[in-house]
């Protein structure tokens, strides 16, 4: 069973990605926004190593800015970071939809929730569910 702390940390990381998806942020502004949203402080020991890992993966760039006497680091998602974030958001959306609507399925391409049987196609050795033939085609052509 996953510890509550791990789940909370992963949700904080998703929120950091959402904040960066909406625009560049300093580490301090990320922590301030998280505190505002969560009602409690989030440790820099969670935020800064995560920003470093996003940077190492090429998903975030950073640059120093002077604000008064202080130097702050501004973090910005790269185009690949935006695509990565969108994939994470789609997966998270799919997980939440499955939890709320356990008897529904989700299109393997666009992630929309299907309340009726979808279009089923064999892709490789797996049968996959799509909302329509167009999503199945796009998926098979690499538009994942």
Q: Do residues 124 and 136 touch, judged by C-beta distance below 8 A? A: no
Cα Rg for the chain, rounded, in angstroms?
A: 19
Give 10-46 pLDDT, tens digit per residue.
Answer: 888 999 999 999 999 999 999 999 999 888 899 999 9
pLDDT of residue 110: 85
Q: Tell me the whole-structure pTM to 2 decimals.
A: 0.68
Nearest CA-CA partner of 107 in 138, 79, 78, 77: 138
pLDDT of residue 140: 86
pLDDT of residue 62: 96
Torsion 44-47-49-52 (CA) sign: negative
What residues of the chain score a pLDDT lower than 50?
1-2, 144
Q: Which CATH class is domain 4-82?
A: mainly alpha
Domain ranges of the chain: 4-82, 103-144
pLDDT of residue 2: 47
pLDDT of residue 15: 93
In degrees, to the nearest 5, what angle opens at C-alpha 107 toward C-alphas 104 and 111? 100
pLDDT of residue 1: 44
């Amino acid at each position: 069973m996953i510890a509550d702390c791990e789940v909370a940390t992963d949700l904080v990381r998703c929120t950091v990605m959402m904040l960066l998806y909406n625009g560049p942020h300093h580490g301090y502004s990320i922590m301030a926004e998280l505190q505002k949203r969560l009602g409690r402080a989030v440790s820099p020991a969670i935020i800064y190593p995560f920003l470093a890992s996003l940077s190492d993966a090429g998903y975030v760039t950073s640059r120093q800015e002077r604000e008064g006497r202080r130097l702050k680091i501004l973090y910005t998602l790269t185009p690949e970071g935006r695509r990565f974030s969108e994939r994470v958001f789609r997966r998270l959306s799919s997980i939440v939809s499955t939890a709320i609507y356990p008897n529904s399925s989700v299109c393997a391409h666009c992630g929309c929730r299907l309340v009726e049987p979808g279009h089923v196609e064999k892709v490789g050795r797996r049968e996959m569910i799509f909302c329509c033939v167009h999503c199945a085609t796009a998926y098979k052509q690499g538009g994942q």
